[in-house]
Structure 1
Amino acid sequence: MGRAPRKAVQRKDQSRGIDRRTLLVGAGASAGLLLAWAAWPRSYRPNLNAAAGETVFNAFLKIDRSGQIVVIVPQTEMGQGITTLLPQILADELGADWRTVGVQSAPVSPLYANSLLARQWLANDWTRIAGDAGDWAIDQYATRKALMLTGGGTSVPMFHKSYREAGAAARVLLCQAAAARWDVAWESCDIQNGIISDGGQRKLKIGEVAEEAAAFGLPEILPFRQGQADRLAGQDLPRLDTPSKIDGSHNFAADIRLPDMVFASIRQGPVGDAVFKSADEAAARRVTGFLKLVRNDRWVAAVAANWWAANKALDLADPVFELTGAQLSSERIEAALEQGFSSSSGQRLYSQGDLAPLFDNAAIVASEFSVDPGLHLALEPMCATARVTDDAAEIWMAAQAPGLARAAIADALGFGESAVTVYPLHAGGSFGRRMDVEAGVQAALIARDMGRPVQLLWSRLEDVIQDRPSAPAHARMAAKLGRNGMIDGWLAKVAAPCGMSQTWDRIARRKPPHEAARDSAESSTRLAVAGMELPYALPNWAVDHFPVDPGLPIGFAPGNARLHGAFFTESFVDELAHQAGIEPISFRIQMLGGNPRLAHCLTTVGAMGGWQGGIEGSGQGLAAHQMDGAYAAVMVEAAISGGKLSVSRIIAAVDGGDQINPDIARQQVESGLVYGLALAMGASVPYAKAMPRRAIMGRMGLPRLADIGEISVELVRSSAPPAELTEAGAPLVAPAIANALFTVTGQRFRKLPLLPRT
Structure 2
Amino acid sequence: MTPHDPPPTVTADRPRTLEVNMGRRRFLTYLLGVPALAVATRITYDSLAADPAAAALPSPPSVEEFFDIGEALVVASAPTMPLVTLEIGEDGVARLDLPRIEMGQGITTSVAMLIAEELDVALERVVVTCADARPELLLNQLTAGSSTLRAFYHPVRALAAAARARMLAAAATQWGVPTSELSTSGGAVNAEDGRSTDFGALSLAAADPALEVGEVLPKPVSDHEIVGTPVRRVDGFDIVTGRKKFTMDLDVPGALPTMVRRAPTWNGEFRSVANRGDIEAMPGVVAVTTISSGVAVVAETFEQARAAVCAVDATFTPGPVPDEDDESIMEKLRATSLPFAAPPLGAITVESTYEWPAAAHAFLETECAVADVRPDGAEIWSGFQAPIVAQQKIAVELGLPQDSVTAHVVPCGGAFGRRVFFDTAMEAALISQQVGRPIKLMWHRTDDMRHGRCRPANVQRFRATIVAGQVATLEQRVTGVSTDFRHGLGEILSATATSLPEGAHQAVVNDAFGQAVFLTFISSPYNFGVYDKKLLELPLGIPTSSYRSVPNQPARGSEEMFVDEVAERLGVDPVEFRRSTLKSERARAVLDTVAEAGDWGRRMPSGHAQGIGVHIESRAYTAALVELDCRDPRNPQVTKAVMAVDVGRAINPLGLEAQMQGGLAEAISLTLRAGLHVVDGLPLEGSYSEYHFARQKDFPDDLEIIIMPPVGEQIGGAGEVGMAAPTGAIANAYARATGTRPRSFPINHPIDFEPIPPGLLPPPAFPEG
TM-score greater than 0.5 by the shorter chain: yes
Q: Deviations for 1:159-186, whole angstroms, at most 9, x for unmatched residues? A: 1111001100100111111111110122
For residues 381-400 of structure 1, what are the structure 2 equivalents within 5 Å?
Answer: 381-400=366-385
Letter of the aligned partner of 2:621 in structure 1? Y
Letter of the aligned partner of 1:660 in structure 2? I
Alignment of 1:224 with 2:209, yes or no, is no
CA distance in structure 1 between the partners assigned to 2:352 and 2:451 by the alignment: 33
Cα distance, 1:617 vs structure 2: 5.5
For residues 582-601 of structure 1, what are the structure 2 equivalents within 5 Å?
Answer: 582-592=572-582, 594-601=583-590
1:718 aligns to what? 710
Asked if the contact 2:268–2:320 (Cα under 8 Å) also holds between the matched residues in 1, the reply is: no
The one of 567, 589, 596 equivalent to 1:577 is 567
SS across alignment from 1:723 = coil
After superposing the two structures, state which structure 1 stretch, 222-231 or 174-183, moved more.
222-231
1:178 aligns to what? 171
SS across alignment from 1:421 = strand
SS across alignment from 2:581 = coil
The one of 93, 98, 108 equivalent to 1:73 is 98
2:85 aligns to what? 60
2:449 aligns to what? 464
- Number of residues of Structure 1 aligned to a counterpart in Structure 2: 677
CA distance in structure 2 between the partners assigned to 1:689 and 1:517 by the alignment: 25
Alignment of 1:654 with 2:645, yes or no, is yes
Asked if the contact 1:522–1:547 (Cα under 8 Å) also holds between the matched residues in 2, the reply is: no
1:301 aligns to what? 296
1:335 aligns to what? 331
Asked if the contact 2:450–2:684 (Cα under 8 Å) also holds between the matched residues in 1, the reply is: no
Q: For the structure 1 residues 341 and 230, does the alpha-carbon distance in structure 2 shift closer, same or farther, using more than 3 Å as the test?
A: closer
After superposing the two structures, state which structure 1 stretch, 459-468 or 156-165, moved more.
459-468
Q: Deviations for 1:365-392, whole angstroms, at most 9, x for unmatched residues? A: 1111111122111111110011111111
2:735 aligns to what? 742
Q: Deviations for 1:442-468, whole angstroms, at most 9, x for unmatched residues? A: 111111112111110011111112221
CA distance in structure 1 between the partners assigned to 2:54 and 2:584 by the alignment: 10
CA distance in structure 1 between the partners assigned to 2:320 and 2:241 by the alignment: 49
Q: For the structure 1 residues 259 and 32, does the alpha-carbon distance in structure 2 shift closer, same or farther, using more than 3 Å as the test?
A: closer
Letter of the aligned partner of 1:597 in structure 2? R
CA distance in structure 1 between the partners assigned to 2:261 and 2:93 by the alignment: 45
CA distance in structure 2 between the partners assigned to 1:219 and 1:608 by the alignment: 51
Asked if the contact 2:320–2:541 (Cα under 8 Å) also holds between the matched residues in 1, the reply is: no
After superposing the two structures, state which structure 1 stretch, 383-392 or 273-282, moved more.
273-282
After superposing the two structures, state which structure 1 stretch, 668-677 or 495-504, moved more.
495-504
1:291 aligns to what? 286
Letter of the aligned partner of 1:109 in structure 2? R
CA distance in structure 2 between the partners assigned to 1:64 and 1:523 by the alignment: 43
CA distance in structure 1 between the partners assigned to 2:184 and 2:483 by the alignment: 47
Asked if the contact 1:371–1:753 (Cα under 8 Å) also holds between the matched residues in 2, the reply is: yes
Q: Deviations for 1:129-184, whole angstroms, at most 9, x for unmatched residues? A: xxxxxxxxxxxxxxxx3541112211100111110011001001111111111101
The one of 570, 580, 593 equivalent to 1:604 is 593
Asked if the contact 1:60–1:163 (Cα under 8 Å) also holds between the matched residues in 2, the reply is: no
CA distance in structure 2 between the partners assigned to 1:183 and 1:547 by the alignment: 68
Alignment of 1:198 with 2:191, yes or no, is yes
Letter of the aligned partner of 1:413 in structure 2? L
1:515 aligns to what? 505
Asked if the contact 1:60–1:72 (Cα under 8 Å) also holds between the matched residues in 2, the reply is: yes
After superposing the two structures, state which structure 1 stretch, 700-709 or 620-629, moved more.
700-709
Alignment of 1:2 with 2:54, yes or no, is yes
Alignment of 1:700 with 2:725, yes or no, is no
The one of 371, 381, 403 equivalent to 2:356 is 371
Cα distance, 1:638 vs structure 2: 0.9
For residues 459-608 of structure 1, what are the structure 2 equivalents within 5 Å?
Answer: 459-484=444-469, 486-499=470-483, 501-504=485-488, 508-509=495-496, 514-516=504-506, 520=510, 525-528=515-518, 532-592=522-582, 594-608=583-597
After superposing the two structures, state which structure 1 stretch, 268-277 or 214-223, moved more.
214-223
Letter of the aligned partner of 2:151 in structure 1? M
Cα distance, 1:633 vs structure 2: 0.3
Alignment of 1:101 with 2:86, yes or no, is no
CA distance in structure 2 between the partners assigned to 1:704 and 1:475 by the alignment: 27
Cα distance, 1:750 vs structure 2: 2.0
Cα distance, 1:192 vs structure 2: 1.8
Asked if the contact 1:614–1:743 (Cα under 8 Å) also holds between the matched residues in 2, the reply is: no
Cα distance, 1:230 vs structure 2: 6.3
CA distance in structure 2 between the partners assigned to 1:647 and 1:93 by the alignment: 42
1:257 aligns to what? 251
Alignment of 1:454 with 2:479, yes or no, is no
Letter of the aligned partner of 2:60 in structure 1? K
Q: Percent identity, please.
A: 25
1:266 aligns to what? 260
Asked if the contact 1:72–1:104 (Cα under 8 Å) also holds between the matched residues in 2, the reply is: yes
Q: For the structure 1 residues 495 and 360, does the alpha-carbon distance in structure 2 shift closer, same or farther, using more than 3 Å as the test?
A: farther
CA distance in structure 2 between the partners assigned to 1:390 and 1:202 by the alignment: 57
Cα distance, 1:521 vs structure 2: 5.4
CA distance in structure 1 between the partners assigned to 2:650 and 2:320 by the alignment: 50
TM-score, normalised to structure 1, is 0.84
Question: Pairwise CA RMSD of aligned residues?
Answer: 2.8
SS across alignment from 1:571 = helix
Letter of the aligned partner of 1:439 in structure 2? T
After superposing the two structures, state which structure 1 stretch, 65-74 or 384-393, moved more.
65-74
CA distance in structure 2 between the partners assigned to 1:433 and 1:227 by the alignment: 36
2:748 aligns to what? 755
Letter of the aligned partner of 2:387 in structure 1? P
CA distance in structure 2 between the partners assigned to 1:724 and 1:614 by the alignment: 36
Asked if the contact 2:354–2:558 (Cα under 8 Å) also holds between the matched residues in 1, the reply is: yes
SS across alignment from 2:715 = coil
Cα distance, 1:108 vs structure 2: 2.7
1:165 aligns to what? 158
1:322 aligns to what? 317
After superposing the two structures, state which structure 1 stretch, 557-566 or 63-72, moved more.
63-72
Asked if the contact 2:321–2:540 (Cα under 8 Å) also holds between the matched residues in 1, the reply is: no
The one of 410, 415, 435 equivalent to 2:400 is 415
Cα distance, 1:539 vs structure 2: 2.1
CA distance in structure 2 between the partners assigned to 1:241 and 1:522 by the alignment: 39
Asked if the contact 2:617–2:717 (Cα under 8 Å) also holds between the matched residues in 1, the reply is: no
Letter of the aligned partner of 2:590 in structure 1? C
Alignment of 1:211 with 2:182, yes or no, is no
Cα distance, 1:250 vs structure 2: 1.0
Letter of the aligned partner of 1:654 in structure 2? V
Letter of the aligned partner of 2:598 in structure 1? G
Cα distance, 1:237 vs structure 2: 2.4
SS across alignment from 2:329 = helix
Q: For the structure 1 residues 87 and 66, does the alpha-carbon distance in structure 2 shift closer, same or farther, using more than 3 Å as the test?
A: same
CA distance in structure 2 between the partners assigned to 1:303 and 1:177 by the alignment: 56
Asked if the contact 2:247–2:383 (Cα under 8 Å) also holds between the matched residues in 1, the reply is: yes
CA distance in structure 2 between the partners assigned to 1:477 and 1:735 by the alignment: 14
SS across alignment from 2:748 = coil
Q: For the structure 1 residues 695 and 272, does the alpha-carbon distance in structure 2 shift closer, same or farther, using more than 3 Å as the test?
A: closer
Q: For the structure 1 residues 477 and 104, does the alpha-carbon distance in structure 2 shift closer, same or farther, using more than 3 Å as the test?
A: closer
CA distance in structure 1 between the partners assigned to 2:400 and 2:139 by the alignment: 18
1:689 aligns to what? 680
Asked if the contact 1:254–1:455 (Cα under 8 Å) also holds between the matched residues in 2, the reply is: yes
Q: For the structure 1 residues 32 and 399, does the alpha-carbon distance in structure 2 shift closer, same or farther, using more than 3 Å as the test?
A: closer
Show structure 1 runs of 5+ residues with no match: 17-25, 36-40, 47-58, 114-144, 349-354
Q: For the structure 1 residues 476 and 701, does the alpha-carbon distance in structure 2 shift closer, same or farther, using more than 3 Å as the test?
A: same
Q: For the structure 1 residues 515 and 731, does the alpha-carbon distance in structure 2 shift closer, same or farther, using more than 3 Å as the test?
A: same
Q: For the structure 1 residues 229 and 542, does the alpha-carbon distance in structure 2 shift closer, same or farther, using more than 3 Å as the test?
A: closer
Asked if the contact 1:497–1:520 (Cα under 8 Å) also holds between the matched residues in 2, the reply is: no
